[in-house]
């Protein structure tokens, strides 16, 4: 199970919901080695871990940021469980009230303080702004056991157990009781299994925290582990495994693990599957159920657990709750299982070679990997962070800058991620990961030489303290002004930190550089040698070199060669490369952290228009809540050129890649110093956003502004940028989850330019085409600028003035893109295409139901419907029917038109598309019974939950800015939307919701089932192979698929009647009505 919620998780086994900006999504993020996710869901962390077991009588004072107003207390329970209590109660606040417990017959509950239900949820606007809205409570429990502890004859048991404890407890026997309770009270839960740790975490409305904590604790006090739940949850684990099979990261990880010595836990199969958890154990006479119960008894014991809880109540009350509830967790008196005696995990005969990989995605990657002794004991010194700083640097004179100048590479990442595979008690993996161009792939020997030239240069120059001091200053400054962030993410991390760092360092251990040890740094640098590295080279162009497919549980195709002795000899004493130099001192480090003072008339609750002209509008808000010396500047450049054609959109994508490519070196010092930027193009134009300490933010803004209006591309660079974008487009459309979204928009949005369409034309584009589109684009722009944070009106106006000086020509409103949408007819239709990846059995279906142009009332009704449907949708379609690992419902607003969708991702060999479609339809019909039987009290609780969610505080400045900026990007500009929605919610009745369902999801639905069909004839890798070489998976393309194509071409499914199938999108749309452009502002 996984939570990639804002901060990201790394190399964790996962299995519950993940919230992304598009809505509620269940996503599998697989095991990975090296390449970090380009959307920053996975952090590149340079920090180190150590296990601590503490028993203390004296209070521990954790080191916290001066910007952190929360109070902390570390306690130890008599059963051995350790807990950190975090009180989010400010001095001028009252404790959160506690609601009466549900199901009180299931357990006794007493509290010294009187609890009562709030009669009304009215909020004074000014008071709400001062207090920052409602706060969520959260808890996380981390266990110091994970997949390394799997018995060798039942791979995946730890991950399977993590699934099973959700299936009811003695006190709360209902399956998914916690999910059900949280979904009714604005909460969310998640879990993951790593190599040496397992984590469970949740958040919820404040006043329901006490009972949620009790339900949560029963996972570890007396889980039922019902035998009748076993087969269903094995199916869930298997679906997760099957979904991971097309993942290149998962495949590379499994290949890397196969290099471990016989019996070493890094060589285990962690995920688990139907075969590993049922078929093979049954054949071998192994009772998985008995082993599951025994594993739970041995591993889920109080002395192995660390707990972090955060709530808006005092520390004394938190301690009372934790002691009363978690003292019941049993202690089995067993010692902690350790693996630190298993150092040097790899068979160097296999490790020190060159491995070729045939990937699923179109990407050219070079990874050089060194295996170090475990570095967790050195977390206070972080020697590998020093090496990471240099090898992962992107500024002038860096390894990447040199490779880019030769058109060999486009990106570099180095170090290790903060996961149990790359960082554990047996070893630490240090990776240099390079994204190559095709030229770099052809000349990868020269790329390798450059890497070792840079390493040799570092060794020659020796360890230099100035860089350590610079890194230390940056990390301490970031921590000094660290903002609160999401409560669940925070306790999840803190509970894990408690397993790794000394108590005093539990908030700083990942980031701080405490001690300078040049000898240790030099020793680590000396271990980056030519004779002790492993090399992975991955590209679809290497398919002819990949003649093996013998990794058990994994269909990776690979080949292996010895590393040539003359290469190694050259790498030991490489020639000097004058283009490689040490970084210059970082001039982007902020030194002025004063908070700006502005006149009272400029202090507003929401952004307001500060100045505007025909060319540009400036929205401004001075921060008075977070009180940090930071700011955000967001720019939107609207232009009709972007939507002129598929080619113009593809060319702007190439320009986006070009800007990022050219900005890498000049902007990198600012990135290191805590600043950030992003650039995005779509059918409306171009947007960029910068943030960081306000002192030097204008310098970064000027850099971005120059990129947008001055950058051009020479004929030599253009094909490299075009090919980079082409690979990105391909890698998007081969994912069924993305392709089903492409299909939906291709049918209903007249202005949508899909990734598949851009992929089809990109080879025809030239540099001359790009220059023409840029010239046209720069001559026809209407701009929006939003400045929020520690900035005065004068400083904000400066950003607008500098942008406006680049603009020319008035853009008439009539020429702007009008976002419209086709009205789906009142009938039951389907639109099916085959997956573009012939070796992927994963299918995806989205049943889309369209309503009418929305207003605030119908928008919140649709949200209520989604909130109530969320848990039963998951429970019925995933837990009970086991249709697939990924199941979710969404309320949608598409170009101002309301909609609703249910999505299931499943394997084509397990269910037909029609079967899953029918199950979704049955569920939607039966859901009417849930609404019809809903009581007024249940409806009031539902409304209260949604209001509380909308009143939840923004926990950092960027969260507030994101909400405001979305109003600009959607061109609604309704910055007080939440207040208006809350006011409408208070007027709604149960009958309103029931009528909305009947009108929307009842008879005469406007319904299309969008379907991407995986290949059911692909044999899966879930076999009982012994590791010997075996035949590759069968690749029988059925005749309906024919020649491989990457165009969105619907196919006929014989299980549907002719009139139900959309087989020609253009013909289907020709008979539809277009909704007018619509904004939801009232």
Which amino acids are annotated catalytic?
162
Q: What values do phi and psi take at 36, rounded to 5? A: -95, 145
Q: In sequence order, what are the residues at sequence separation of 6 or more whose Cβ sits closer than 8 angstroms to the Cβ of residue 519? A: none
Residue keyed to tokens 């949850």: 233
Answer whether 870's CB lies under 8 Å from 5's CB.
no
Please provide the size of the chain in residues. 1082
- The backbone torsions φ and ψ at residue 268, rounded to the nearest 5 degrees and listed phi first, read -75, 160
Cβ–Cβ under 8 Å, residues 590 and 674: yes
CB contact at 8 A, 851 and 862: yes
Q: How far is residue 73's CA from residue 83's CA, in Å, rounded to a whole number?
A: 8
Up-side HSE of residue 350: CA atoms within 13 Å toward CB? 12
8 Å CB contact between 382 and 410: no
Name the nearest CA neighbour of 951 among 987, 988, 977, 989.
977
CA–centroid distance for 839 within its chain: 25
d(CA 372, CA 526): 11
Cα separation of 104 and 207, whole Å?
Answer: 16
Q: Are 154 and 284 in contact (CB under 8 A)?
A: no
Task: Enter the tokens of residue 1024.
Answer: 């009982």
Asked whether 398 and 586 are in contact (CB, 8 A), the reply is no
Q: At 345, is the secondary structure helix, strand, or coil? A: coil
Place of tokens 């228009």: 609
- DSSP states of 741-779: HHHHHHHH-TT---HHHHHHHGGG--HHHHHHHHHHHHT
Contacting residues for 660 by C-beta, under 8 A, at least 6 apart: 679
| Nearest in space to 53 (alpha carbons), one of 82, 20, 16 | 82
Q: Looking up tokens 């790394």, which residue turns up?
A: 10
842-853 sheet: strands from edge to edge: 828-834, 1006-1013, 842-853, 897-907, 886-894
Q: Tell me the Ramachandran region of residue 268: left when phi exceeds 0, alpha when psi lies from -120 to 50, beta otherwise.
A: beta
From 824, 796, 790, 800, select the one nearest 1005 (Cα to Cα).
824
Question: Tokens 């180095």 label which residue?
Answer: 414
């Amino acid at each position: 199970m996984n939570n990639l919620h804002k901060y990201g998780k790394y190399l964790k086994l996962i299995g519950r919901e993940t919230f992304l900006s598009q809505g509620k999504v269940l996503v599998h993020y697989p095991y990975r080695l090296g390449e970090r996710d380009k959307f920053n869901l996975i952090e590149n962390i340079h920090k180190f871990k150590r296990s601590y077991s503490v028993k203390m009588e004296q209070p521990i004072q954790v080191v916290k940021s001066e910007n952190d107003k929360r109070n902390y207390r570390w306690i130890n329970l008599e059963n051995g469980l350790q807990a950190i209590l975090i009180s989010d109660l400010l001095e001028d606040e009252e404790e959160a009230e506690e609601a009466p417990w549900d199901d009180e017959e299931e357990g006794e509950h007493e509290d010294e303080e009187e609890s009562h239900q709030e009669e009304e949820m009215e909020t004074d606007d000014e008071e709400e702004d001062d207090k920052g809205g409602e706060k969520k409570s959260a808890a996380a429990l981390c266990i110091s056991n994970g997949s390394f502890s799997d018995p060798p004859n039942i791979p995946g048991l730890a991950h399977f157990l993590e699934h099973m404890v959700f299936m009811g407890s003695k006190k709360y026997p209902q399956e998914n009781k916690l999910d059900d309770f949280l979904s009714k009270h604005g909460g969310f839960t998640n879990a993951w299994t790593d190599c040496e740790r397992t984590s469970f975490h949740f958040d919820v409305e404040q006043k329901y925290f006490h009972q949620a904590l009790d339900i949560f604790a029963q996972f570890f006090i007396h889980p039922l582990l019902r035998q009748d739940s076993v087969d269903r949850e094995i199916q869930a684990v298997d679906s997760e495994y099957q979904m991971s099979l097309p993942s290149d990261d998962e495949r590379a990880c499994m290949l890397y693990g196969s290099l471990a010595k016989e019996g070493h836990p890094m060589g285990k199969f962690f995920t688990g599957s139907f075969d590993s958890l049922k078929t093979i154990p049954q054949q071998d006479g192994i009772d998985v159920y008995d082993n599951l119960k025994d594993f739970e008894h041995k591993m889920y014991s109080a002395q192995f657990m660390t707990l972090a809880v955060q709530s808006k109540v005092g520390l004394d009350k938190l301690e009372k709750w934790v002691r009363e509830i978690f003292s019941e967790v049993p202690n089995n008196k067993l010692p902690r299982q350790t693996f630190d005696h298993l150092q040097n995990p790899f068979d160097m005969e296999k490790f020190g070679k060159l491995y070729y990989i045939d990937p699923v995605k179109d990407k050219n990657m070079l990874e050089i990997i060194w295996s170090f002794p475990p570095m967790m004991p050195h977390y206070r010194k972080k020697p590998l962070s020093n090496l990471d700083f240099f090898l992962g640097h992107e500024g002038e004179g860096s390894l990447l800058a040199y490779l880019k100048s030769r058109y060999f590479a486009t990106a570099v990442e180095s170090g290790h991620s903060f996961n149990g595979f790359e960082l554990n008690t047996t070893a630490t993996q240090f990776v240099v990961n390079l994204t190559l161009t095709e030229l770099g792939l052809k000349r990868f020997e020269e790329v390798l030489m450059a890497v070792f030239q840079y390493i040799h240069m570092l060794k020659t120059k020796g360890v230099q303290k100035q860089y350590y001091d610079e890194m230390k200053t940056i990390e301490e400054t970031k921590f000094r002004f660290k903002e609160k962030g999401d409560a669940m993410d925070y306790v999840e991390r803190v509970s894990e930190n408690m397993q790794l760092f000394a108590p005093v360092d539990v908030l700083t251990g990942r980031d701080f550089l405490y001690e300078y040890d040049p000898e240790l740094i030099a020793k680590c640098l000396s271990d980056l040698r030519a004779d002790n590295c492993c090399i992975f080279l991955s590209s679809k162009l290497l398919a002819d070199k990949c003649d093996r497919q013998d990794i058990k549980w994994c269909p990776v195709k690979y080949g292996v060669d010895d590393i040539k002795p003359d290469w190694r000899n050259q790498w030991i004493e490489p020639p000097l490369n004058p283009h490689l130099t040490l970084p210059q001192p970082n001039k982007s480090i902020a030194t002025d952290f004063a908070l700006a003072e502005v006149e009272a008339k400029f202090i507003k609750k929401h952004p307001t228009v500060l100045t505007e002209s025909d060319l540009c509008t400036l929205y401004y808000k001075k921060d008075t809540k977070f009180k940090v010396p930071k700011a955000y500047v967001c720019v939107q450049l609207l232009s009709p050129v972007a939507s002129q054609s598929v080619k113009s959109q593809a060319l702007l994508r190439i320009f986006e890649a070009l800007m990022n490519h050219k900005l890498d070196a000049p902007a990198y010092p600012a990135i290191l110093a805590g600043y950030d930027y992003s650039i995005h193009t779509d059918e409306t134009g171009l947007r960029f956003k910068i943030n960081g300490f306000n002192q030097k933010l204008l310098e970064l803004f000027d850099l971005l502004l120059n990129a947008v209006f001055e950058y051009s591309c020479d004929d030599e660079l253009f094909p490299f940028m075009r090919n980079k974008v082409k690979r990105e487009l391909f890698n998007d459309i081969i994912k069924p989850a993305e392709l089903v979204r492409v299909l939906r928009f291709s049918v209903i949005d007249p202005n949508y330019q899909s990734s598949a369409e851009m992929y089809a034309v990109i080879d025809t584009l030239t540099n001359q085409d790009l220059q023409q589109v840029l010239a046209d684009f720069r001559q026809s722009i209407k701009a929006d600028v939003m400045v929020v944070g520690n900035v005065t009106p004068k400083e904000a106006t400066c950003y607008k003035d500098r942008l406006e000086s680049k603009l020319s020509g008035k853009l008439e409103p009539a020429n702007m893109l009008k976002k419209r949408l086709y009205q789906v007819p009142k009938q039951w239709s389907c639109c099916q295409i085959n997956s573009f990846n012939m070796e992927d059995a994963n299918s995806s279906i989205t049943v889309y139901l369209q309503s009418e142009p929305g207003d605030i009332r119908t928008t919140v009704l649709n949200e209520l419907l989604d909130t109530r449907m969320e848990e039963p949708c998951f429970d019925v379609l995933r837990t009970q029917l086991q249709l697939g690992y990924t199941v979710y419902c969404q309320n949608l607003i598409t170009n101002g038109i309301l909609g609703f969708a249910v999505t299931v991702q499943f394997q084509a060999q397990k269910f037909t598309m029609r079967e899953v479609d029918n199950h979704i339809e049955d569920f939607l019909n039966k859901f009417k019974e849930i609404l019809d039987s809903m009581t007024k009290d249940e409806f009031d609780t539902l409304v209260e939950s949604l209001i509380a969610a909308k009143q939840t505080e923004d926990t950092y400045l960027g969260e507030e800015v994101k909400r405001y900026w979305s109003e600009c990007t959607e061109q609604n500009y309704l910055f007080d939307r939440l207040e208006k929605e809350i006011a409408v919610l208070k007027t709604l009745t149960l009958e309103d919701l029931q009528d909305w369902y009947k009108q929307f999801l009842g008879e005469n639905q406007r319904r299309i089932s969008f379907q991407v069909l995986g290949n059911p004839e692909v044999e899966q890798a879930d076999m009982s192979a012994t590791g010997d070489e075996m035949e590759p998976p069968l690749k029988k393309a059925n005749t309906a698929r024919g020649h491989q194509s990457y165009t969105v071409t619907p196919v006929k499914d014989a299980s549907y009647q002719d009139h139900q199938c959309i087989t020609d999108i253009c013909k289907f749309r020709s008979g539809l009505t277009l909704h007018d452009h619509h904004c939801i502002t009232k």
